[in-house]
Amino acid sequence: MYNYRYRSLFQCFMLALLTAFIFLTPSLACFAKDHATVQIIKVKGYNTQDEVRDSIRFALCRVSKSNLSFWGREYPINAGFYNKGDICSVSVVEDRPKLLYKLWMQEKSAPLVIVLPGIGSHFQGMGLNAIAQVYYDAGCSVVIISSAMNWEFYMAASRSKAPGYIPTDVEDIYNALSKIVAEIKKDNVDKIKSVHLVGYSLGGLHTLFLAEREARSKKKIGFKSYLSIHPPVDPYSSMFIMDKFFERGTGWSEKEMRLKIERSVAGYLQLVDDGLSDDKVKILKDEGEVLIAYAYRSSLRELLLSICKVGNDMGFIKEKYGFTKGALYKELNPYSFAKYADSFVKKAAAMRLGNDLSMKDMASNSNLHTISEFLKTADNISLIHSLDDFLINKKDVIWFSRVFGERAYFFRNGGHLGELYTAEAKVSIVKHLDLKF
């Protein structure tokens, strides 16, 4: 069983990794007969290892021309591009702290691109800021916010006692974005040509649901186009896989756990500091799976800590939030996503909606299949994915290709977000958003 005295060792690993590795599903084993209509984005010199270690390459997606140490990149207070952005705030929910977001405005009139990150990610995350730079360098103004499953968004903008139910989370994100865009337009109305929405991982799923939400809204935000990058089709099934990944580490002895963690963290830090060595991520596949799962579990725990802090535990947690948190952490540590969803999320959704939902109902309502008819005809939405993403299986790839048609583009390799650092990916995420400068 995992000993939590190694928690501090995980923290250096988790800080940069949280933006990337969420929703894992069985990998795509083969895809031959049915991919005639799939449009492949070619990447020169991408030497794949496997879907896990390719995914870890998301660590290479970082702000360019930033000659900083690892900690300098993790806390990028004085790092070139980071300093160009203004940390702004807006009141979203009455009697709550203001929601923080980051804004880079071009001096001239330009498209405004809003980027939504993966599960649990903070707006100061390295990968999120790197993607923001891609759009800024292309001539766009850019806004980034924290994930709806991040503690900061929860404290400022969530109207549920616990986030995680996609339909209500989307309502909260839509409410927040409407106020952010209105706030920006107060002082920059002449500088905004058009407004666009981009999301990756969970943010990619949110983007697609937000597009549908915007289409039926009477008072629209005014999004001109959307790009969804690596979204899951079924987020609940994907996150449940993370629980299985977590369980793999429970079979290791305490000594094995310590050695595997130390070796994997060292390999990750080497990747962050020095890049790929011999085109390889120096982490074993099984260790990478467990570390990714632990990173995810830690982000869930921090969210639960915030839920307890504001007194929204709904009777599920015995320990009270206080100055010393050892006992509270001990109670929160065992929470898997399945346990969190079946308790906190289900009860919070019932309280907000006024009726009980089964886990089956929650999963069905959060699945992209529920808006498939809208996605088929929404010609201002594009999709970028990879064939070996953990998030999807063979049927999902076929579904994406049929629903999006010529608006869907795939990388052959990269796992989950692990190709976004490449030049080809940076070109693609700009090209396939309908900006029209």
Domain positions in the chain: 1-437
Helices (H), 320-433: 326-332, 337-340, 346-353, 359-365, 372-377, 394-404, 423-431
> What percent of the chain lies above the pLDDT cut of 70?
88
CATH fold for domain 1-437: Rossmann fold (3.40.50)
pLDDT of residue 361: 95
Q: By three-state DSSP, how is residue 90 classified?
A: strand
Place of tokens 């958003």: 433
Say if residue 18's pLDDT is above 80: no
**Model's pTM, two decimal places?**
0.89
Q: By three-state DSSP, how is residue 149 classified?
A: coil
Say if residue 35's pLDDT is above 80: no
Whole-number Cα distances in Å, 344 to 160, 163, 185, 234, 351: 10, 8, 37, 19, 11
pLDDT of residue 261: 81
Q: Which residue has the higher pLDDT, 390 or 307?
A: 307
The one-letter code for the residue type at 287 is: E
Pair 367, 234: CB distance under 8 Å: yes
Whole-number Cα distances in Å, 73 to 15, 78, 115, 322, 420: 10, 9, 20, 31, 18
Least confident of 83-97, 210-224, 282-296, 395-409: 282-296
Q: What is the mean pLDDT of residues 181-205?
A: 96
Q: Which residue has the higher pLDDT, 352 or 17?
A: 352
> What percent of the chain lies above the pLDDT cut of 90?
70
Q: pLDDT digits over 349-393, tens only?
A: 999 999 999 999 999 999 999 999 999 999 999 999 999 998 899
Q: By three-state DSSP, how is residue 40 classified?
A: strand
pLDDT of residue 239: 85
> CA 38, CA 381: separation in Å to the nearest integer?
16
pLDDT of residue 79: 58
DSSP assignment string, 332-350: HTT--HHHHIIIIIHHHHH
Mutual orientation of helices 235-248 and 285-309 as an angle, nearest 10°? 110
Q: What is the mean pLDDT of residues 189-193?
A: 94
